[in-house]
Amino acid sequence: MKKLAFGILLGLLVVFTSCLDDDDGYSLGDYWIGFGIYNGDGESAGELVMDNGYVLVGVAANYPQWYKDFSNGDRVLVNYTILDEDNTSSSEERYFVKVNDISDVLMKGIMDITEEIEDSIGNDPIIVEDAWITDSLLSFRLKYWGQNKIHFLNLVKQPGELTADDQPIQLELRHNANDDVQSIPYTAYVSFSLNSLRINGLDSVQFEVTATDYDGEVYQDNGVFNYNDLELPMP
């Protein structure tokens, strides 16, 4: 069993060709890849609040008006190039960036599993390749096999009001492959809001996550959702 860690996914979320401390300053040949939240109205670039705490202000892009594809609070995966520092705030690490590429990431809440939705939730295998917590979000990098059908991913718990005695709260990652053919390996990223796990009188809760892979092996992980002093404006 491995411990869920706060922070960014090493090896994927920070990809660069030279050091930030390079005496030559920022280069258009450097790029970073990371997860974040879009803060904006879809009419202007707004800001990207990244999982690593950076705030990115998009002042250039490979395609214009990329922000029109997003709504405030959307989860995104962005490839960006740092152009300069934005020193308008002393409390945040802010950068002016060029948005090289950006895509939305599935973001959902935790569902209560009931007999009525048991079949639609599915019980197909799923491979958890990584998991991490940022603020109020539990994110996964997943692998599954399919061909051309839409797959459904959910994080579920038993219904009922949570109490301190329920800790660690039991969560299960469920996959509905929609009877798809297992011919092509796919990678998926999904984030789940942990806010429904808050318990009155506590400032953090313990939880455990399980999932079953194609060999019948059970993935088991545990973590702590600390909501005493959340920083990022996440749902």
The pLDDT tens digits for 35-63 are: 999 999 888 889 999 999 899 999 999 98
3-class SS shares of the chain: helix, strand, coil, % to 5: 5, 50, 45
Check the CA dihedral 137-151-160-171 and report its sign.
negative
Query: How large is the average pLDDT for residues 74-99?
Result: 91
pLDDT digits (tens, 9 = 90+) for 32-42: 999 999 999 88
pLDDT-based confidence at 20, cuts 50/70/90?
very low
Cβ atoms within 10 Å, residue 11 = 8
Q: What CATH topology corresponds to 106-226?
A: Immunoglobulin-like (2.60.40)
Phi first, then psi: give them for residue 33, nearest 5 degrees.
Answer: -125, 130
The residues spanned by each domain of the chain are 2-104, 106-226
Query: Band of the pLDDT at 25, cuts 50, 70, 90?
Result: low
Predicted structure pTM score:
0.84
Mind listing the pLDDT tens digit for each residue in 142-179? 999 999 999 999 999 999 999 999 999 999 999 999 99
The CA dihedral of 228, 229, 232, 235, to the nearest 10 degrees, is 30
Residue 149 is given by DSSP the state S
**Residue 116 in 3-state DSSP?**
coil
Residue bearing the bigger pLDDT, 119 or 109: 109
Q: Strand runs (DSSP E) across 9-108, as ranges?
A: 32-39, 47-50, 54-61, 75-86, 93-104, 106-108
* pLDDT band per the 50, 70, 90 thresholds, residue 22: very low
Task: Confirm or reject CATH 2.40.50.500 for domain 2-104, answering yes or no.
Answer: yes
For residues 120-133, average pLDDT: 95
The answer for residues whose C-beta is within 8 angstroms of residue 25's C-beta and 6 or more apart is none
